[in-house]
C-alpha cells in the first residue's frame, strides 16, 4: 500500500466528527500539526525514492519446507515487527496529543464509519482488530461503546495503547492484546457485539479466509462486523503524477502479495537499514472480501463505496477528480444466531 507521509491511514487529524459528543475545535493541537509537517518533509523523499523501486518478493524467504499457512503467519509476524519500529519513531511522539484528544471526548472515526457504527455502539462490547496504538479503539468508548478490546500484532502498538488507557483511567473498560488477527486467543471467542476494523488493516492480512473465520469466532451470535477500508482500486493509481494513471504493472486482479513501498516501509528502512523486517501487503478485491465473509457464515447487511479518502494518497490530483472514484468502502455483516 502506498501511503502518504502526511496523512496516511493511521493519522490523527484532530477531531473529525463525533457521535452526539463535543469533540472540540479542529486544530486544537498545534504541536501535532508541527510534528506532522516535519514528518511530511522528512519522509517525502523516502516515499518518492521507494515508489520508483520494484521489489522482488518470493515466499521462499520464509523457508522452503514451511506450509503456506506457516509462511503467511511468519510474514504477519515480520510485518508486526516493522510496525513496532513505526510505532516507536512516529506514534510515541503523538502520544500526548492523542491523550488530550480522547480526554476531550474525541474520536478518530470518519463519517462513513460513524454512520455505520452509530446504531450499534451504545452499550456494546467492541473488539477492534488491528487497533494500532489505541486511538481509534479508545475513541469508540467516547462514541458510546461500553467496552473495547483492541487486538494488534505489534507489541509496541499494544504497549502504547495500554499506556493511553492507563493514563486516561480507562483500564476497566479498555484492554489490548497482542495477537495475529487471523489467530485470536480462544478467550475472546463469542464475546463481541461488534467487531470493528479497517482503515489500512486488511492489506496486511495475507490469509483472508482465516481472517473471516476469526471474525465469526469473535462475534457473539447476532453480533456485527463493521469494516471501513480503503478501496483496492485506489491502490492502482500512480501517486507520482498529478493526473489519473495506473502504476506500471498494477492490476486490480493481482493476487500476489508485494512488499509495501510507501511510508511505513520507508520509515522502517531508515531506522533498520537493509536488514529491516519486511512488510508484505495484498489488496483484496471488494468482491473477494464479501465472498469470504459469506463463506465464513456471515450475512451481508450492506456494501457501500465512497469517494472519501481517509488518508490523502493523492494530494496532487485536481479537485475535480477527487469525488469521481471509489476511494473507500464499507461492509456490515451479521453473525446469524445459528452460525
Ligand atoms: C495502518 S494500521 C491500522 C490502523 C487502524 N485503522 C487504527 O488506527 O486503529 C495497521 C495495524 O495493523 C497491525 N497489523 C498488521 N498485521 C496484523 C495482523 N496480522 N494481525 C494483527 N494486527 C496486524 C499493525 O501492527 C498496525 O498497527
Rounded to an integer, the average pLDDT of 50-59 is: 51
In the reported structure, the alpha carbon of residue 22 is separated from the centroid of ligand 1 by a whole-number distance in angstroms of: 28
Work out the pLDDT band at 265, boundaries 50, 70, 90: confident
In the reported structure, the alpha carbon of residue 224 is separated from the centroid of ligand 1 by a whole-number distance in angstroms of: 20
Indicate if ligand 1 lies below 6 Å from the C-beta of 214. Answer: no
Which grid coordinates are listed for 335? 453473525
Q: What is the pLDDT of residue 56?
A: 52
Which grid coordinates are listed for 24? 472540540
178/56: higher pLDDT: 178
Using an 8 Å Cβ cutoff, are 152 and 165 in contact?
no
Rounded to an integer, the average pLDDT of 47-68 is: 59
267/30: higher pLDDT: 267
pLDDT mean across residues, the chain: 85
Rounded to an integer, the average pLDDT of 219-243 is: 94
Work out the pLDDT band at 1, boundaries 50, 70, 90: very low
Interatomic CA distance for residues 121 and 48, integer angstroms: 40
Rounded to an integer, the average pLDDT of 209-217 is: 98
Q: Which atom of ligand 1 is nearest to the CA of 206?
A: 19
Mutate to test the pocket of ligand 1, among 130, 134, 152, 200 (most ligand atoms within 8 A of CB): 130
Work out the pLDDT band at 50, boundaries 50, 70, 90: very low
Which grid coordinates are listed for 293? 465473509
Indicate if ligand 1 lies below 6 Å from the C-beta of 161. Answer: no
Q: What is the pLDDT of residue 314?
A: 85
In the reported structure, the alpha carbon of residue 15 is separated from the centroid of ligand 1 by a whole-number distance in angstroms of: 21
Q: Which range has the top average pLDDT, 18-22, 56-60, 213-217?
A: 213-217
CB atoms under 10 Å from CB of 74, counted, come to 16
328-334 and 219-230 strand pairing: antiparallel
Q: What is the pLDDT of residue 10?
A: 46
- b/e per residue 227-255 (b: at least 16 CB within 10 A): bbbbbbbbbbbebeeeeeeebeeeeeeee
- b/e per residue 182-193 (b: at least 16 CB within 10 A): bebeeebeebbb
Task: Write the residue with the smallest CA distance to atom 10 of ligand 1.
Answer: 201
CB atoms under 10 Å from CB of 68, counted, come to 11
Indicate if ligand 1 lies below 6 Å from the C-beta of 76. Answer: yes
Q: What is the pLDDT of residue 322?
A: 82
In the reported structure, the alpha carbon of residue 23 is separated from the centroid of ligand 1 by a whole-number distance in angstroms of: 25
Give the H or E element holding residue 230: strand 219-230
Task: Write the residue with the smallest CA distance to atom 27 of ligand 1.
Answer: 132
* Nearest in space to 91 (alpha carbons), one of 151, 133, 42, 28: 133
DSSP label at residue 88? I
Work out the pLDDT band at 175, boundaries 50, 70, 90: very high
Using an 8 Å Cβ cutoff, are 79 and 153 in contact?
yes
Using an 8 Å Cβ cutoff, are 49 and 264 in contact?
no
Rounded to an integer, the average pLDDT of 162-191 is: 98
In the reported structure, the alpha carbon of residue 82 is separated from the centroid of ligand 1 by a whole-number distance in angstroms of: 11
User: Is a pLDDT exceeding 60 seen at residue 243?
Assistant: yes
Least confident range from 114-128, 145-159, 272-286, 308-322: namely: 308-322
Second-level CATH architecture of 94-257+284-334: 3-Layer(aba) Sandwich (3.40)
User: Is a pLDDT exceeding 80 seen at residue 24?
Assistant: no
Indicate the length of the chain as a whole number.
339
Q: What is the pLDDT of residue 27?
A: 37
Q: Which atom of ligand 1 is nearest to the CA of 10?
A: 8
248/195: higher pLDDT: 195
User: To 10 degrees, the CA torsion angle through 163, 167, 171, 173?
Assistant: -110
Rounded to an integer, the average pLDDT of 220-229 is: 98
Which grid coordinates are listed for 237? 493509481
Cα distances (angstroms) measured from residue 34 to each of 15, 93, 107, 164, 323: 16, 11, 21, 22, 29
Residues in contact with 50: Cβ distance below 8 Å, sequence separation at least 6, in sequence order: 261, 262, 265, 266, 269
Indicate if ligand 1 lies below 6 Å from the C-beta of 152. Answer: yes
Indicate if ligand 1 lies below 6 Å from the C-beta of 130. Answer: yes
Work out the pLDDT band at 338, boundaries 50, 70, 90: confident
**pLDDT tens figures, 288-320:** 999 999 999 999 999 999 999 887 788 888 888
Percent of the chain with pLDDT over 70: 81
Indicate if ligand 1 lies below 6 Å from the C-beta of 136. Answer: yes
Q: What is the pLDDT of residue 319?
A: 84
Amino acid at each position: 500500500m502506498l501511503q502518504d507521509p502526511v496523512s496516511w491511514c493511521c493519522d490523527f487529524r484532530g477531531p473529525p466528527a463525533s457521535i452526539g459528543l463535543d469533540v472540540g475545535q479542529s486544530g486544537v493541537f498545534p504541536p501535532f500539526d508541527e510534528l506532522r509537517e516535519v514528518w511530511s518533509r522528512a519522509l517525502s523523499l523516502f516515499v518518492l525514492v521507494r515508489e520508483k523501486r520494484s521489489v522482488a518478493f518470493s515466499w521462499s524467504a520464509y523457508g522452503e519446507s514451511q506450509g503456506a499457512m506457516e509462511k503467511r503467519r511468519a510474514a504477519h509476524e515480520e510485518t508486526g515487527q516493522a510496525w513496532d519500529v513505526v510505532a516507536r519513531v512516529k506514534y510515541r511522539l503523538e502520544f500526548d496529543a492523542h491523550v488530550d484528544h480522547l480526554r476531550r471526548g474525541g474520536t478518530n472515526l470518519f463519517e462513513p464509519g460513524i454512520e455505520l457504527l452509530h446504531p450499534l455502539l451504545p452499550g456494546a462490547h467492541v473488539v477492534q482488530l488491528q487497533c494500532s496504538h489505541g486511538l481509534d479503539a479508545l475513541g469508540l468508548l467516547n462514541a458510546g461503546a461500553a467496552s473495547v478490546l483492541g487486538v494488534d500484532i505489534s507489541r509496541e502498538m499494544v504497549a502504547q495503547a495500554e499506556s493511553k488507557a492507563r493514563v486516561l483511567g480507562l483500564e476497566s473498560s479498555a484492554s489490548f492484546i497482542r495477537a495475529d488477527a487471523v489467530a485470536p486467543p480462544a478467550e475472546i471467542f463469542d464475546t463481541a457485539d461488534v467487531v470493528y476494523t479497517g482503515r489500512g488493516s486488511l492489506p496486511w492480512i495475507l490469509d483472508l479466509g482465516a481472517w473471516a473465520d476469526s471474525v465469526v469466532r469473535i462475534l457473539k451470535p447476532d453480533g456485527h462486523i463493521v469494516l471501513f477500508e480503503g478501496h483496492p482500486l485506489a491502490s492502482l493509481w500512480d501517486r507520482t503524477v498529478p493526473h489519473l494513471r495506473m502504476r506500471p504493472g498494477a492490476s486490480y486482479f493481482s493476487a500476489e502479495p508485494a512488499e509495501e513501498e510507501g511510508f511505513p516501509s520507508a520509515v522502517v528502512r531508515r531506522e533498520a537499514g537493509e536488514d529491516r523486517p519486511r512488510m508484505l501487503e495484498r489488496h483484496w478485491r471488494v468482491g473477494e472480501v464479501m465472498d469470504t465473509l459469506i463463506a465464513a457464515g456471515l450475512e451481508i447487511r450492506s456494501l457501500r463505496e465512497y469517494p472519501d479518502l481517509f488518508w490523502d494518497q493523492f494530494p496532487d490530483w485536481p479537485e475535480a477528480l477527487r469525488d469521481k472514484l471509489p476511494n473507500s468502502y464499507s461492509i456490515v455483516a451479521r453473525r446469524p444466531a445459528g452460525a
